[in-house]
Each structure stands twice: as structure tokens, then as C-alpha cells.
Amino acid sequence: MDLAPRLLGAVLTHETDEGRVAVRLAEVEAYGGVGEDPGSHAYRGMTRRNGVMFGEPGHLYAYFTYGMHVCLNLVTGHPGAASAVLLRGGTVVEGLELARSRRPGASDRDLARGPARLGLALGVPLSADGDDLLAAPYSLWLPSAPPVSARGPRTGVSGAGGGADFAWRFWLPDDPGVSAYRRHRRAVG
DNA sequence: CGTGAGATCGCCT
DNA sequence: GGCGATCTCACGT
């Protein structure tokens, strides 16, 4: 969770046959390990889906949700810790044409603004689960100085013991790549 | 611009 | 069998 705000301003690049797209991260959320974070996929231990979370840091944890969307996380903890950072949004800084072709109809601002959209713009499929994000065809550039960041409760996580109270969402204030805050549909209160 | 509902299926209980 | 780390579109302001 200490690492999460350091990813703000970082640039994640993915290269395919079609070309290269890079996104500058503007919004992330941290998720913790077994028994410590009720909002985390790792809360109840290792399962078929979340196995990558328990592995090496720097790898990609990609999962399928809501019957139609893929979300991307960077594993941040040591093996077994099962902590990860959900990449929630950013702006395309390279490969704009390619990103546009992958998201027909979307405005430039919306290309990678949102967890599922970000993966679509980068062209990272569910099958990339487990990939090393620090090696080709990916690259991750981190800014030398930690950026000024804002923090608040996580989006999309339900209340009632679901970990909604954890203020583990971090973003770059006023950055256009920050997704619209939407509380969970079933959030209480 | 904000709210709300539907889509759609794998995962876990 | 219920629900989700979401997105898009429709509609009211």
C-alpha cells in the first residue's frame, strides 16, 4: 500500500504487432493480503483466480469481472504477501491512433479512464495474467520523485465489511485520467 | 452533469 | 444461487 501512490505518474507501455501504446497512470487502488483486507480478492486465501497475487512482485494480476470486463493489477508485495495495486485510470501518452482504434467512439480523455478501459487501450487481454510487467513486451517507467497525490476511499468496493472504509485509493489531483467516482451500487447509507 | 438500470458470467459460499 | 475492484446508454436537470 505504500507503493501505490508511487505508481502515480508512472508510464506503463505495452507493445504488440499493431504497435505500442503507453499510459501515464493517474489513479490506483491498493489491495491487501489474506485476512487483512476484506475488499481484496486475496482476503480468503489463494484461489484459482488470484494465484498470481501470491507470486512475484512486478507481475500482472489480470482478472475477469462483471461478466464482461478485465481489470489489471500490479503485484507489489513479496511472494506470499498477496498485495497488489489496481490500475484504475490514466491518459494515453503514446500510440494515440492505436488506442483510438481499440476503443471506437470513445473520446481521447476516456480512452484509458477507468480500470477496464485502461486494459482495452493498452491491448492487454485476460490471458496476459501472470505476465512480467517489468520485461518486454511491457515497460514500466517510474518518476524519480513521488508525485503530489490525493487519497480517499476505494471505488466499487461494497460497504458492510467489504473494505470500503480503507482509504487506499490514490490519484493525481485534477488529472483528466482520473475516473469518475462511483460508489458501489450496493453501498449502504 | 448526475443518476439509474441492464448486461453477463466466473467465482465463491 | 448471489454478487461483483465496471461500462455504457438513456433520461432528467
Q: Name the nucleotide with the smallest C1'–CA separation from A49.
A: B11
Using the structure, give the distance in angstroms from the CA atom of A3 to the C1' atom of C13, rounded to a whole number: 41
β-pairing verdict for A150-152 and A138-141: unpaired
**Cell, residue A147:** 508525485
Predicted TM-score (pTM) of the model is: 0.95
CATH number of the domain enclosing A39: 3.10.300.10
Query: Which CA-bearing residue is nearest the C1' of B6?
Result: A66
Coil vs helix vs strand at A51? helix
In a domain, A183, yes or no: no
Query: Which CA-bearing residue is nearest the C1' of C3?
Result: A66
Domain that holds residue A39: 4-171
In a domain, A130, yes or no: yes
**Cell, residue A41:** 480478492
In a domain, A189, yes or no: no
Report, in ranges, which bases of strand C sit under 7 Å from a protein C-beta: 3-9
Residue A107, exposed/middle/buried by CB under 10 A (0-12, 13-18, 19+)?
Answer: exposed
Q: Which of A 109-168 have CB under 7 A of nucleic chain C?
A: 110, 114-118, 154-158, 162
Query: Which CA-bearing residue is nearest the C1' of C4?
Result: A66
In a domain, A84, yes or no: yes
In a domain, A188, yes or no: no
In a domain, A180, yes or no: no
In a domain, A62, yes or no: yes
Question: How many domains does chain A divide into?
Answer: 1
Q: Which pLDDT tens digits describe chain A residue by residue (189 residues)?
A: 779 999 999 999 999 999 999 999 999 999 999 999 999 999 999 999 999 999 999 999 999 999 999 999 999 999 999 999 999 999 999 999 999 999 999 999 999 999 999 999 999 999 999 999 999 999 999 999 989 999 998 988 876 556 777 899 999 999 999 988 777 766 655
- Asked if A1 CB < 7 A from strand C, the reply is no
In a domain, A186, yes or no: no
